[in-house]
């Protein structure tokens, strides 16, 4: 099982990439988030929402393991 992670806005700046695949061993979004924070420490001070399979979800979402995940920070520019 493979998770596709898409990074938007400043989260792409933090990870240094727009997309990557992670082999899944996460039981929850919180676990995935914790791992991402270890991989990309700049994410820690960032505010972002997570979408799984094109729907914004909360931390208690149960991962199946093959989702497309998106990290969405707010943008202020106009």
Partner 1 sequence: MSEEERNILNRRTKMELTDQEKNRYSRHILLEKVGLEGQEKLKAAKVLVIGAGGLGCPVLQYLTAAGVGTIGIIDFDRVDASNLQRQILYTVADIGKNKAVSAKNRLTQNNPHVNFDVYPEKLTTKNALELFSRYDMVVDGTDNFSTRYLVNDACVISNKPLIYGAIYKFEGQVSVFNYEQGATYRCLFPEPPTAGSVPNCSDVGVIGVLPGIIGTQQANEVIKLILEIGNPLSGKLLTYDALNNAFLTLNINRSEEAVQKVLSNSKDFENMDYDFFCGITKNDKMSEISVAELKEWLSNSKNIQIIDVREDWEQPQIKELNAINIPLNAIPTNFDKIDRDKETVVFCQHGIRSLNCIEYLEQQGFNNLINLEGGIVNW
Is residue 25 involved in binding partner 1 (CB under 8 A)?
no
Ramachandran assignment for 65, one of left (phi > 0), alpha (psi -120 to 50 degrees), beta (any other): left
How many whole angstroms from its chain centre is CA 61? 13
Rounded least distance, CB 55 to partner 1, Å: 4
**Per-residue contact flags (x/-) with partner 1 for residues 32 to 71, judged by CB under 8 A:** -------------xxx-x-x--xxx-------------x-
Residues 61, 3 contacting (CB under 8 angstroms): no
Judged by CB under 8 A, the number of residues near partner 1 is: 21
* Strand, helix or coil for residue 15: helix
Binding site for partner 1 (CB under 8 A): 6, 8-10, 18, 45-47, 49, 51, 54-56, 70, 72-78
């Amino acid at each position: 099982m493979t998770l596709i992670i898409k990074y938007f806005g400043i989260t792409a700046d933090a990870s240094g990439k727009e997309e990557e695949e992670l082999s899944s061993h996460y039981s929850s979004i919180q676990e995935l988030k914790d791992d991402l924070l270890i991989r990309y420490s700049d994410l820690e001070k960032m505010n972002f929402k997570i979408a799984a399979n094109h729907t914004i979800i909360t931390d208690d979402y149960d991962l199946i393991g093959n989702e497309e995940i998106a990290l969405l920070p707010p943008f202020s520019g106009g």
